[in-house]
Amino acid sequence: MLKEENRAKIEEIKKKYPDAKAALLPALWVAQEQEGWISEEMMKEIGTFLGLPFGQVLGVVTFYTMFNSKPVGKYHIEVCTNVSCVLRGSDKILQKVEHVCGAKAGQTSADGKWTVNEAECMGACGGAPMLAIGEEYYENLTPEKAEELLRKLT
């Protein structure tokens, strides 16, 4: 369920666009910030709220990589493995992350602490190799630095 303040937030967002459908991506962001992911119930609720069919909402959620249609771990780790990062050793960063988190890319650890993903270019090529935890970027990594970073997270 969307919290009351978030429903109000979406009402405000709607005013920025000529129609309610355009508020769909921002509304999904509000929902994901609240819950960490977007459940089918949430998609239905947002659809009703914006006057859109469920299929429209589902279609959008499944198209965009960043919308999580299943729960993610407490920490969502994304390791960029695209060209500039792979040239500077991102394969070793990913291996280390998978080892420390006990989860392979695309998986969530059994304790629900970590979700690990291999990411496409995140626009941090000058600081390659890199990983992101949520919205925070960590650049110029070595496997050791990556491990140190993760071990600090409780």
Partner 1 sequence: MTPTEHYILPDIPDYHRLDVYEANGGYTALRKALGMKPEEVTDEVKKSNLRGRGGACFPTGLKWTFMPKGSDKPKYLAVNGDESEPGTFKDRQIFEYNPHQLLEGILIGCYAMGINAAYVYIRGEYGKWIRMMQTAVDAAYENGYVGNNILGSGFSTEIILHKGAGAYICGEESSLMNSIQGERGYPRVKPPFPAQRGLWGCPTTINNVETMTNVPLIINKGWEWYSKIGNTKHPGPILVGISGHVNKPGVFEVPTGVPLLELIHAYAGGIPGNKKIKAVIPGGSSTMILRAEQLEGVCMDVDSLKAAGSSVGTAGLIVMDEDTDLIPILSRIAKFYHHESCGQCTPCREGTGWLEKVLERFEHNQAKTEDIDLLLNIANNIEGNTICALGDAAAWPVQSMIRQFREEFEKHITPQLAD
Give the Cα separation of 77 and 154 in Å (integer): 14
What DSSP letter does each residue of 72-122 carry, written as one string? --SEEEEEE-SHHHHTTTHHHHHHHHHHHHT--TTEE-TTSSEEEEEE---
* CB contact set of 70 (below 8 Å; sequence gap of 6+): 37
Do the beta carbons of residue 151 and residue 100 sit within 8 Å?
Answer: yes
> Contacting partner 1 (CB under 8 A), which of 4, 18, 41, 144?
18
Using CB under 8 A as the binding rule, the residues of this chain from 101 to 120 that contact partner 1 are: 119-120
Q: Does 89 bind partner 1 (CB under 8 A)?
A: no
Q: How many residues sit close enough to partner 1 to count as binding (CB under 8 A)? A: 43
Using CB under 8 A as the binding rule, the residues of this chain from 46 to 85 that contact partner 1 are: 52, 56, 59-60, 63-67, 81-84
Do the beta carbons of residue 33 and residue 72 sit within 8 Å?
Answer: no
> Contacting partner 1 (CB under 8 A), which of 42, 116, 132, 150?
132
> Contacting partner 1 (CB under 8 A), which of 7, 26, 74, 145?
26
Please, which residue, 83 or 102, has the CB nearer to partner 1? Answer: 83
Give the Cα separation of 128 and 66 in Å (integer): 21
Q: Does 29 bind partner 1 (CB under 8 A)?
A: yes
DSSP code at position 152: T
> Contacting partner 1 (CB under 8 A), which of 4, 19, 41, 144?
19
User: Which residues are at the interface with partner 1 (CB under 8 A)?
Assistant: 16-19, 21-26, 28-29, 52, 56, 59-60, 63-67, 81-84, 86-88, 119-128, 132, 134-137
